[in-house]
Every structure is written in structure tokens, then in C-alpha cells.
Amino acid sequence: KDVDDESDREEYEYDADGTPWVKHVGTGPLTVTVLEDKLAKVKDLYMAKYGCDVDADSEEEYEYDEDGTAWIRTEGTGHLSVEVLEGKIADVKELFKARYGNDVDADSEEE
């Protein structure tokens, strides 16, 4: 049952003296199917929030040395140059403007 569903609110039962008792109804034992369904819902929520699949392979590659020890190989973009950093700053400023509707540099130019 959905926790936020209004129809699932507590039901009161009264004993012979008129004392209210809260009645809780369980969903029964968890089965593999129920757990898999819940896991699928959580994965869908993760995908909706973060835009990537939980089960997607990472960009990192595993390499093994002669002893069989696993090493993680990560490829970078190299040294950052001023031009690359300025390009990244411009991208962030565009994202800021798209999200908040105003230019980051607008306030500093007015002063």
C-alpha cells in the first residue's frame, strides 16, 4: 500500500467500553516478486531524478595485473587550459541563466 494514499489512513475500532483501537492491516509476507517490483520502482525514481541508469556500466574499466589483482582504469581529459576552463565557466553561466532566468554577470555589471 502507498503510505501517502489517503484511503489507507488508520481505521478505529471500539471495544465494549467505547475505547478506540487503531486497526492496522499488513500486506502479508514479502515475496521475491514484491521485492523485485519495489526495486524496479526505486530504479525508475533514480533514473527520473539523476538521469542515469543504476545498472549502467561505469565508464571505468577494470584491468588486471599478472597476479590477477584488479585495477580501475580512469581516463581523464588531460591538463586543463585557461581556454577549457573559460569554456566550462561559460557553460555553467548558460545553465544558470536557463534555470534562474537571469545572467550571472548582470548584477556585477550594474554596480
Query: Residue 91's domain spans which residues?
Result: 79-111
Q: Looking at the predicted structure, is the pLDDT value of residue 10 above 70?
A: no
The 3-state DSSP class for residue 12 equals strand
Q: Convert the pLDDT of each residue in 25-82 to its tens digit.
A: 777 777 888 888 989 999 999 889 888 888 776 655 677 888 988 887 777 777 778 8
The three state secondary structure string of 19-82 is CEEEECCCCCCCCHHHHHHHHHHHHHHHHHHHCCCCCCCCCCEEEECCCCCEEEECCCCCCCCH
The total number of structural domains that make up the chain:
2
Residue 61 lies in a domain: no
* Shared-domain flag, residues 5 and 39: yes
Q: Looking at the predicted structure, is the pLDDT value of residue 105 above 50?
A: yes
> For residues 28 and 25, what is the distance between their CA atoms, to the nearest angstrom?
9
Residue 71 lies in a domain: no
* Shared-domain flag, residues 51 and 92: no
Give the model's confidence band at 107: pLDDT under 50 very low, under 70 low, under 90 confident, else very high.
low
